[in-house]
């Protein structure tokens, strides 16, 4: 019996960059205000009119301008069971999984640099006149620092409108565990590439993706 499938529509074609926020690791996040953009919710003082948890929102920091967008990649791996009677495997099973999120910070601030290097906020000291970031080598047996990542971009277009929905990615636990290099060059901007390795929470989920159509 044939089933009906939706007709192709340009409304499901998504264009546009994402705003990226770094905050505390864990599944908790500031509440979603009724019609406010989640960008406003995570911006200091934003979204409070609709009961947003402003204290929690203040713990999330916008990394600012980025380049090359945000790439979220899954990498499953599978094992195979070969049998003598067949020339191929008789069964395939999933035996591994990883998820990464990659972007480039276009604002070469010390706050962004410590995130790319996986350092704690305590390694950055600021006064009214200067800021100092320790280049911290860590210590033997030290666990990598976990953070949370929220990216907010466009979702599919709203029904009956040319306006986009809002799509939010929340990765519960991310770690910057790959090398990162930046340069001070005469003809190029100083940018900071960063790759986050995501880890699943205790519930087995890396995070959530949510589309919202009621954003004003």
Q: What is the pTM of this model?
A: 0.90
Q: Which domain holds residue 195?
A: 16-212
Give the pLDDT band of residue 216 (cuts 50, 70, 90): confident
- State both tokens at 133: 């970031």
Give the pLDDT band of residue 54 (cuts 50, 70, 90): low
> Structurally, how many domains does the chain consist of?
1
Question: Does 3 map to a domain?
Answer: no
- Region 6-29: mean pLDDT is 91
Give the pLDDT band of residue 44 (cuts 50, 70, 90): low
What are the pLDDT digits (tens) for 93-113? 999 999 999 999 999 999 999
Phi, psi of 181 (to 5 degrees): -125, 145
Which residues are bridge partners to 23 per DSSP? 148
Question: Does 201 map to a domain?
Answer: yes
- Region 113-139: mean pLDDT is 93
| CA–CA distance, 67 with 194 (Å, rounded to integer) | 11
In the prediction, which pLDDT does 2 show?
Answer: 64
In the prediction, which pLDDT does 50 show?
Answer: 41
Give the DSSP per-residue string, 60-110: -EE---EEEEEEEEE--EEEEEE-TTSSSEEEEEEEE--EEEEEEESS--H
Question: Does 52 map to a domain?
Answer: yes
200 C-beta neighbours (distance < 10 Å), count: 13
- Would residue 16 be called left, alpha or beta, if left means φ above 0 and alpha means ψ between -120 and 50 degrees? left
Distances (CA, A) of 65 to 38, 70, 73, 197: 17, 12, 21, 21
Question: Does 1 map to a domain?
Answer: no
Question: Does 41 map to a domain?
Answer: yes
Range of lowest pLDDT (10-24, 26-40, 52-66, 173-187): 52-66
Give the pLDDT band of residue 49 (cuts 50, 70, 90): very low
- Region 150-155: mean pLDDT is 96
Q: Which residues contact 147 (CB under 8 A, 6 or more apart)?
A: 22, 23, 24, 25, 115, 173, 174, 175, 196
Question: Does 10 map to a domain?
Answer: no
In the prediction, which pLDDT does 26 show?
Answer: 93
Distances (CA, A) of 146 to 15, 75, 100, 115, 175: 30, 20, 14, 10, 5
Q: Among all chains, which residue has been given the structure tokens 């980025």?
A: 66
Question: Does 85 map to a domain?
Answer: yes
Question: Does 7 map to a domain?
Answer: no
Report the chain's mean pLDDT, rounded to a whole number.
Answer: 90
- Region 131-159: mean pLDDT is 92
- Region 17-39: mean pLDDT is 90
In the prediction, which pLDDT does 167 show?
Answer: 96
């Amino acid at each position: 019996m044939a089933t009906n499938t939706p007709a192709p529509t340009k409304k499901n074609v998504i264009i546009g960059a994402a705003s990226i926020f770094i905050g505390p690791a864990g599944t908790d996040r500031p509440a979603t205000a009724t019609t406010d953009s989640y960008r406003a919710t995570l911006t200091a003082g934003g979204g409070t009119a609709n009961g947003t948890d402003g204290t929690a929102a203040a713990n999330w920091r916008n990394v600012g301008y980025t380049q090359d967008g945000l790439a979220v990649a899954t990498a499953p791996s599978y094992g195979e069971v070969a049998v003598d009677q067949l020339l191929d495997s008789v069964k395939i099973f999933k035996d591994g999984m990883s998820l990464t999120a990659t972007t480039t910070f276009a604002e070469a601030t010390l706050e962004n640099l410590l995130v790319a290097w996986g350092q704690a906020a305590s390694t950055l000291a600021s006064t009214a006149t200067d800021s100092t970031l320790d280049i911290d080598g860590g210590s033997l047996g030290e666990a990598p620092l976990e953070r949370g990542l929220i990216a907010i971009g466009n979702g599919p277009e709203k029904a009956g409108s040319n306006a986009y929905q809002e799509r939010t990615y929340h990765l519960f636990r991310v770690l910057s565990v790959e090398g990162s290099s930046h340069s001070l060059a005469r003809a190029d901007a100083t940018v900071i590439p960063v790759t986050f390795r995501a880890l699943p929470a205790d519930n087995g989920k890396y995070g959530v993706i949510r589309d919202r159509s009621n954003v004003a």
